[in-house]
Amino acid sequence: MGSGTSLEHCDRTDVGRRRANNQDAKAVLEPWSREQYRRRGWLFVVADGMGAHAAGEMASAIAVEQVPLVYEKHAARSPLLALRMSIEQANAEIHARGESSTELKGMGTTCTVLAILPRGAIVGHVGDSRVYRIRGGTIEQLSKDHSLVWELEAAHTGPPEDMPVAPKNIITRSLGPHPQVEIDLEGPFPVEEDDVFVLCSDGLSGQVADDEIGLLASALPPKAAAAALVGLALVRGAPDNVTVITARAGEREVSRTAPGDEPWPLADEPSRPAGQADVPWTTLAIAGGCLFAALLLYPNGPLMKFDGPLGGLLGDLREPIGWVSFSGLLLGFVGAIIAALVGFCSPQKPRIKALPLNARVGAGPYRTYACGPTMPRIEGIVASVESAADGLDDATRVHALGHVRRARDAAGGGDFATAITAAADAVGVYARSVEAARQ
């Protein structure tokens, strides 16, 4: 918990049960004062590397090193701009390293970043690692997977059963393989007290359903939730590295804006350089309208000489009215021309595209599921432990199954708080047995 804030968090990573090394990486940048929180907030990063030999580990390590460094440097000006610049810099570093060696060529990593600021939570994202927000029995996915599966689902318009089958591990966007990368920016999303955020690699989301992630992360403290989520992935085989960060917002992280807050710049270069002015088309149009009307109302012109109903109505006042109207419109024409010339010739401030207060970028959340405590959700977790427990020694299996029975009994009686704790305890027994076997 950083000084001056009330957010609690925990981060965990595990090599999984089938990989020899861990290509996932993570980072947390804490604000150590209330002023630092106001300036750049909390920053959380998860990266899932790809590449032969040590290339994937190197790519993800570069991402979690570069992103906090660059973000810290630029966040005071604009957190959204800082997120984009930090991920672009990480991409450049990874690409350069990959081009320097044949063994590293083509290496890459996902990169998913969450910043929690006084104005709300923002996301910078490339790849298929994820960011979730859990609130009031609902889990929302704030990031969009850059994967072949998601692209096929987005393009498919027929019935679900006709959906083409695609490998789940093919991603369409990552840091490193190319000199430039397209980055998704999302937010700011409003933050309320007790909102829970989860960042994870696909080693977790591939084994634990979204509603189960929401159930455990919302019902347990961040440390216990992170342990239970990684443990549940191990229970279900953990074929990939597993990384998760859980964060629960407190009262001091509730989103607040003030009318005097500055808009966030979205670009590091102005769309119009200083000194270059726009042509004042509106002012010129007003000048043209004044001139046209003045010519029509000129006392000796055809309109004022016309002996129609208007002439009879005005009578002897026609000529004075004409001169007054003509003079006023002519002065308006001259004034508009002068204003246009002054505006065009005056030095202009650079124009930078910015996000106004209370506006948002991106299209998230992308998926929403109920994740409140129910008997089927508890059963899904404990049944996995029960099945996996067959491979444990007798004493450990009895210990794990004791927690399973306690979870089922509590859920059957409607005591879901006890049921979730007991289910997490059962998962913990299995996870500790896996760790002991590694040693």
What pLDDT digit, counting tens, does each position of 197-210 carry?
999 999 999 999 99
The position carrying tokens 């306690």 is: 406
User: What's residue 276's pLDDT?
Assistant: 53
Same domain, 366 and 387: no
Coil, strand or helix at 177: coil
> Per the structure block, which two tokens stand in for 269?
């270069």
pLDDT at 273: 53
State residue 330's pLDDT score. Answer: 77
* Mean pLDDT comparison of 47-56, 97-106, 164-173, 424-433, highest-scoring range: 424-433
Strands 354-355 and 196-200 turn out to be: unpaired
pLDDT at 123 > cutoff 50: yes
The per-residue b/e assignment along 130-154, b for 16 or more CB within 10 angstroms, e otherwise, is: bbbbbbeebbbbbbbbbbbbbeeee
What whole-number distance in Å separates Cα of residue 342 and Cα of residue 358?
Answer: 34
Q: Are residues 184 and 294 in the same domain?
A: no
Same domain, 122 and 213: yes
Structure tokens at 86: 């930090």
The answer on 415 and 290 residing in a single domain is no
Q: Are residues 174 and 290 in the same domain?
A: no
Average pLDDT, the chain: 89
pLDDT classification of 302: cutoffs 50, 70, 90: low
Residue positions counted in the chain? 439
Same domain? 228 vs 328:
no
List the domain range (segments joined by +) for residue 298.
Answer: 281-345
User: Residue 258, SS3?
Assistant: coil
| Helices vs strands, H then E, count in the chain | 14, 14
Which residues, listed in sequence order, are joined to residue 124 by a DSSP beta bridge?
113, 185
Whether 313 and 383 map to the same domain: the answer is: no
Contacts from 405-413 at CB under 8 Å and sequence distance 24+?
Answer: 407/378, 407/381, 407/382, 408/378, 408/379, 408/382, 411/373, 411/375, 411/378, 411/379, 412/375
Total number of domains constituting the chain: 3
Per-residue pLDDT band for 285 (boundaries 50, 70, 90) equals confident
Q: Domain for residue 275, yes or no?
A: no
Tokens of 132: 């979730």
Residues 63 and 186 in one domain: yes
Angle at 187 between CA 39 and CA 373, to 5 degrees: 110
DSSP string, 407-439: HHHHHHTT-HHHHHHHHHHHHHHHHHHHHHHH-
Neighbouring CB atoms inside 10 A of 376's CB total 8
Q: Which two tokens stand for residue 99?
A: 């081009």
The answer to the question of residue 69 being in a domain is yes
In this structure, is residue 264 part of a structural domain?
A: no
Residue 421 near residue 409 (C-beta atoms within 8 A): no
Contact indicator for 28, 12 with CB cutoff of 8 Å: no
| CA-based torsion, 223, 34, 190, 174: positive or negative | negative
Residue 48 domain flag:
yes
Sign of CA dihedral 118, 42, 9, 113: positive
The pLDDT tens digits for 42-90 are 999 999 999 887 899 999 999 999 999 999 999 998 999 999 999 999 9
What's the CATH number where 238 sits? 3.60.40.10
Confidence of residue 134 (pLDDT cuts 50, 70, 90): very high
In a domain, 276, yes or no: no
Q: What global pTM score does this model have? A: 0.82
What separation in angstroms does the CA of 70 have from each of 29, 45, 64, 90, 414?
A: 12, 13, 11, 9, 49
Q: Is residue 266 part of a domain?
A: no
Q: Is 271 inside a domain boundary?
A: no
The pLDDT tens digits for 313-361 are 555 666 676 677 777 777 888 887 887 777 667 655 555 688 988 899 9
d(CA 436, CA 427): 14
313 and 381: one domain? Answer: no
Share of the chain above pLDDT 70, in %: 87
- Are residues 251 and 290 part of one domain? no
Give the tens place of pLDDT for each residue, 268-279: 765 455 555 566
Question: Which distant-in-sequence residues (6+ apart) come within 8 Å of 372 by Cβ?
Answer: 137, 215
- Distance of alpha carbon 428 from alpha carbon 229, whole angstroms: 10
- Sheet with 367-370, strands from edge to edge, namely 8-14, 242-248, 196-200, 130-135, 138-141, 367-370
DSSP sequence for 34-98: HHHHHHH-EEEEEEEEE-TTTHHHHHHHHHHHHHHHHHHHHTTT-HHHHHHHHHHHHHHHHHHHH
Q: Are residues 247 and 294 in the same domain?
A: no
pLDDT of 271: 47
In the block, residue with structure tokens 């929302």: 140
Average pLDDT over residues 167-173: 86
Distance of CA 53 to the CA centre of its chain: 31
**Residue 1 maps to a domain:** no
Same domain, 217 and 127: yes
